[in-house]
Amino acid sequence: MIKKYSIYNLIVFSLLFFSTSSFAVLYDFDSGTSGFTLYGDAIVNSGSIQLTAPAIGQSGSIFLDTALNATSFSASFDYWNAEPRYGVYGGDGITFAWATSPGIGGGGGELGFTGLNGYMVEFDTYWNSGYDPADTLYNGDDTDHVAVGTEVSSTLAYAILPEMEENGWHHIDVAFDNGLIQVAFDGIEYINYSIADYVGFDAYFGFTGSTGASFSRQLIDNFDLTINQSSEPVPEPSTLLLLGGGLAGLAWCRRKRKKA
């Protein structure tokens, strides 16, 4: 009787899991970059991804090798910008990107993204004439900013940020649902914007970064990605792993309950 009940429970649990399946993984890069490809100057540096060294003319990126449905997702990661050439004028910044193809784009103020086809959230540490919104320049001085769009040179929404150079790891949260994007930097929301006519697509998620005449060491770590794909019947391979883990956990609970 107990056996029958357990099988029934397993089936219900499985159906429930598949109907709300989501792909959720934390990449800490502590044991390498399996599942990703690094482009340009990007390297692994002490368990994090170094997109740029503190040197002129660097551009590097890292992208997942598998395309995932970019309709509804959330992501968080840590960003480090240090050893800037000119104090608060460290360069040039990074993007969190989801693109139709992985790769590396233009350097300098193009943040390693220009040339890729898709969307990005940029964290820009160096103001460039012609690239950056005019009112993100304070009194002729550099101002850091966050922006969202398909082009680094012409963004859809932006906000001024505190200077990012030389003050440790910054934590970034991105929530995205069918065009509605919310971006928080160090726990404070700066972007809450709805991209008109957004259409979800199979995208390569990753990060790009670059330097120009100014530079910084720019690192990425602890990339946490959740793809909400309840509308998709086929789970990703890692969802199967999660399901396996869930079933093993259930079996363990049952064994425990029997013992008690």
Residues 149-168 contacting Ca ion, CB under 5 A: 163
Which residue carries 């898709």 as its tokens?
Answer: 118
Residues 47-66 contacting Ca ion, CB under 5 A: 47-48
Closest CB to Ca ion among residues 83, 232: 83
Closest CB to Ca ion among residues 119, 228: 119
81 with 126: CB under 8 angstroms? no
Closest CB to Ca ion among residues 54, 109: 109
Q: Which helix (H) or strand (E) holds 243?
A: helix 237-259
Identify the DSSP state of 87. G
Check residue 88 for interaction with Ca ion (CB under 5 A). yes
Rounded least distance, CB 139 to Ca ion, Å: 14
Closest CB to Ca ion among residues 221, 236: 221
Rounded least distance, CB 123 to Ca ion, Å: 10
Check residue 185 for interaction with Ca ion (CB under 5 A). no
- Residue of the chain from 60, 105, 108, 109 that contacts Ca ion (CB under 5 A): 109
84 with 214: CB under 8 angstroms? yes
Residue-wise DSSP of 123-150: EE-S--TTTS-GGGSBTTB---EEEEES
For helices 237-259 and 2-19, the axis angle rounded to 10 degrees is 150
Q: Show the site string, 5-34: x = touches Ca ion by CB under 5 A, - = not.
A: -----------------------xxx----
Check residue 208 for interaction with Ca ion (CB under 5 A). no
Rounded least distance, CB 254 to Ca ion, Å: 36
Closest CB to Ca ion among residues 72, 125: 125
Q: Is the peptide bond before 92 cis (omega within 30 degrees of 0)?
A: yes
Closest CB to Ca ion among residues 18, 86: 86
How many other CB atoms are found less than 10 A from the CB of residue 219?
Answer: 22
Contact range with Ca ion by CB under 5 A, out of 18-26, 130-138, 209-217, 251-259: 130-138
191 with 182: CB under 8 angstroms? yes
3-state secondary structure of 257: helix
Check residue 124 for interaction with Ca ion (CB under 5 A). yes
111 with 208: CB under 8 angstroms? yes
Residues in a beta bridge with 96: 121, 207
210 with 108: CB under 8 angstroms? yes
Rounded least distance, CB 158 to Ca ion, Å: 11
Size of the site for Ca ion (CB under 5 A): 16
- Residue of the chain from 41, 110, 122, 144 that contacts Ca ion (CB under 5 A): 144
Residues near Ca ion, by CB under 5 A: 28-30, 47-48, 88, 109, 124-126, 128, 132, 142, 144, 163, 221
